[in-house]
Amino acid sequence: MEHFDGLTFFPQPNEGYWRMGDVVYRDEIVIYRVLSSKPRLARRFLLRLKQELKRVLKQEEILIVERDVETF
């Protein structure tokens, strides 16, 4: 939590599908949602985390999605 203002973990089993050429792949996926009031710092942290996860988990890619959120 030192890098974010909020964190939600979705522990239920999830599947993701993606296509490369004519082949469709299925992956078991993990979803975390983080909130940050400091997007530059969060982005820097997540980029480093992404590289580490790719190495440790032996993944070609790790998907991280960023978007603006407005609360009211």
Q: pLDDT digit string (tens) for 5-63?
A: 999 999 898 999 989 999 999 999 889 999 999 989 999 999 999 999 999 999 988 99
- Closest of 35, 19, 26 to residue 69, by C-alpha: 35
Q: Which residue has the higher pLDDT, 3 or 63?
A: 63
The pLDDT-based confidence of 2 (bands split at 50, 70, 90) is confident
The answer to whether the Cα torsion of 1, 3, 52, 64 is positive or negative is positive
Residue 1 has pLDDT above 80, yes or no: no
- pLDDT value, residue 65: 93
- pLDDT value, residue 44: 95
As a whole number of angstroms, the distance between CA 57 and CA 52 comes to 8
